[in-house]
Chains A and B, each alone.
Chain A
């Protein structure tokens, strides 16, 4: 896997599902200052990325699931690894549900959700069984498309934006910013997948740039999306809409001929969201394979079983969209940040206490 592939994979994982998962919630929390919350949330993501990078260079060619065992010993380490694996599985299920809900609500209301979920997980399982390299190349192809889809919108919106919607600035006090930054922080913290994928890098020591770059680009585009929603729709309409960006794209008209481009944009975003699901599915599968020492062809069965698990979990995890927003706003940020930030930081602290700063991992030899 090359640096560019890691960059786009991190980027797509963070942005892919954020396009319709986040804007509504963020604007609801922060109104015109939502971009401030995202910027603060970026702080969490940068910390996570740095911690992962230091861990990765201390234990090269190992994944997040193996750090625990190396640092804390067999049993405690397995527990930590299991927490990560279950977290990945859960995030994949949440993302799947968000995707499927979007498709049902916005694109094809008469098709049962199960059909979408089944299609997603079938293709995702196929991708995961094909290996990390294939997923890397998929990211390399979908990533630029996603950037184009988001930035491209900008060029067709000049006639419908109202910059005055952005005012007033800086209404939030610092405490509010910190509180509101948890949701985007948890989302940007999806960079955690780099902790697994870094191990498959050609040059792990140069992984920092793609990881940070991917997160930063995704954060910038999220802010851009927020601005697009607010300038086109205004804050109040954005809060009322479940998918404000989707609604905003619907307003675009090019030369009296191309109108209602929302379903086209929705399909491109779905590609990004799909990649996010695949990335978490892949990481969860790698985790399970490493924790239970499954090798060779067994890995395909792990992918299949996890695909089924994500499918079922995704279908039954929420009762409805109200339930989903409740989860995303209250439970998700704390849970995500605990797993994404606190545990890696804890691992790094213990590692430093045990081995000191200079430790580079090579001398520990094999397992």
Chain B
């Protein structure tokens, strides 16, 4: 079984028989909590015992509570059933009878300890306490306002499903189930966070994901000891292989079809309640260059687009550094006409090229951050200041060269092509500028080798981060720089899934040529 090894606080003690004792015990727990509602009533007719419903306002669905709990208990329940079937224990069985015969609700659990009742109420369930019974019923009534299924903001596509995950974990896992209707799809749950008690699901396909990997992920999840999990980022940072590396070894996505694709390749997904971002592990470097759309469009175009992404990565990381190296050290590499126009544009600018790159880079980063955070209403003013004043005017005034503005703009646009690698790109860019400023192309080479060595040392849940580039694997390379036609991607990536699991055996010959 997959139980969280975390005890949740010091709440303990069993329920008492008397209703008032239990109520005061609970009121003692929920001190100064105006949103905890205690609804006292009598079961059925006057001769029956009193009962109380306890729930938190706003976390329950009012209709469920009144329709499936209050109405049947107050109007339909006559108590004779319970007296007839009451055994020697008397009122102890009252809870059983009510649960079995009087509550038309999807899920009712019996709770004997105060802790279970408190936990249930905090989760958005309703607790039913009956006078004379030491057993409480925790009835599923969760229901709170949440966002509708919507198109995700971070991963826009042209072709493919538009739905994205929501903040509600139940909706999210259902979206995954709807994609993969296989009884081998496992969704195991655990609770993380001493105080937030966040629900976390671990999803994988049994028989496709490797058992050792599943166990390793569970082991790391169970080791987490933290007071609160507010977003999947918390979990990501607590389970990743290399917390001190700039490269992410845990992936995240907002799209159910992406998660389904990753599960089919033998990966695992971690859903966290309260966030639309679902984690996928293991996460390899090349995944940053893959998009779900690659698989929905036809292979030639998808391959071209993918190659363009690699190009964009190289430009975004290396262009400013390369510019500095060429400008300061290896001018002879530039074709003569280009060199002449570049030198002409640098005429009269006061800063050395690496200073220019750094200044413009920093200004661009500030603009980007401001663009993300600012209210939409001032967008127009912002773009005027950004584009005209900083770009056009600074070049006119002779503060920075025109070619530098081209470099910075090209770098920025290329960076936008790969949103999932944006943070890595920004840091690498700075690193390479620092290498190129004193040593030129040689510095870039040495910096590149350092980064490569670092990446060779990285693993994501036992899988080399740079797989399948190094160590090389021809079968898996079909989905790295190119996107081979679906019929030829017959196996899941070697190291991830089981080896002999053909994914498609469809006959791809054109019709009529048998």
Contacts and interface: CB of A to CB of B under 8 A. Distances in A.
Given A134-B457, A137-B456, A267-B445, A119 B439 contact: yes
B442 interface: yes
A214 to B, nearest CB: 16
Contacts of B329: 107-108
Contacts of A140: 470-472
B85 interface: no
B369 interface: no
Interface string A245-275: 0000000000001111111100100110010
Interface of A: 2, 4-5, 103, 107-108, 111, 115-116, 119-120, 123, 126-127, 130, 133-134, 136-138, 140-141, 257-264, 267, 270-271, 274
Contacts of A4: 472
Nearest to B337: A257
B335 A257 contact: yes
A281 to B, nearest CB: 13
Contact of A103 (B337, B442, B470): B442
A103 to B, nearest CB: 6
A126 B445 contact: no
B470 A141 contact: yes
B449 A267 contact: no
Nearest to B435: A119
Given A137-B470, A141-B452, A258 B335 contact: yes
B466 interface: yes
Contact of A259 (B336, B440, B441): B336
Q: Counting chain B CB atoms within 10 Å of each CB, which of A5, A108, A258 scores highest?
A: A108
Interface residues of B, number: 27
B450 to A, nearest CB: 5
Contact of B446 (A2, A120, A134): A120
A116 B446 CA distance: 10
Nearest to A262: B332
B469 interface: yes
B46 interface: no
Given A126-B453, A141-B452, A260 B332 contact: yes
Main SS of the interface on chain A?
A: helix
A261 B469 contact: no
A135 B336 CA distance: 39
A267 B446 CA distance: 10
A130 B457 contact: yes
Contact of A119 (B333, B446, B471): B446
A138 B449 contact: yes
Contacts of B439: 108, 111, 115, 119
Contact of A126 (B330, B332, B444, B450): B450
A268 B440 CA distance: 14
Nearest to B329: A108
A311 to B, nearest CB: 14
Contacts of A126: 450, 453
A134 B335 contact: no
B335 A119 contact: no
B457 A119 contact: no
Contacts of B443: 119
B442 A108 contact: yes
Nearest to A133: B456
Contact of B335 (A103, A138, A259): A259
Contacts of B450: 123, 126
A271 B453 CA distance: 13
Contact of B333 (A115, A120, A257, A263): A263
Q: Counting chain B CB atoms within 10 Å of each CB, which of A103, A115, A260, A274 scores highest?
A: A260
Interface in B424-474: 438-446, 449-450, 452-453, 456-457, 466, 469-472
Contacts of B471: 2, 5, 136-137, 140
Contacts of A270: 442, 445
Contacts of A137: 456, 466, 470-471
B333 A123 contact: no
B494 to A, nearest CB: 13
A5 B456 CA distance: 13
26 contacts: A107-B330, A107-B440, A123-B446, A123-B450, A126-B450, A127-B449, A127-B453, A130-B453, A134-B457, A137-B470, A137-B471, A138-B452, A140-B472, A141-B452, A141-B470, A257-B337, A258-B335, A260-B332, A261-B333, A263-B333, A263-B441, A267-B441, A267-B442, A267-B444, A270-B442, A274-B445
A276 to B, nearest CB: 13
A262 B446 CA distance: 18
Contacts of A261: 333
- Which 8 residue pairs across A and B have the least CB separation, nearest first? A137-B470, A134-B456, A260-B332, A137-B456, A257-B335, A263-B330, A119-B446, A140-B470
B453 A138 contact: yes
Given A111-B439, A130-B453, 5 more contacts: A4-B472, A5-B471, A107-B441, A263-B332, A264-B441
A261 B333 CA distance: 6
A119 B438 CA distance: 11
Contacts of A5: 471
B462 to A, nearest CB: 14
A332 B371 CA distance: 63
A120 B445 CA distance: 10
A109 to B, nearest CB: 10
Contacts of B456: 130, 133-134, 137-138
Contacts of B438: 115
Given A140-B470, A259-B336, A263-B330, A123 B449 contact: yes
A274 B452 CA distance: 13
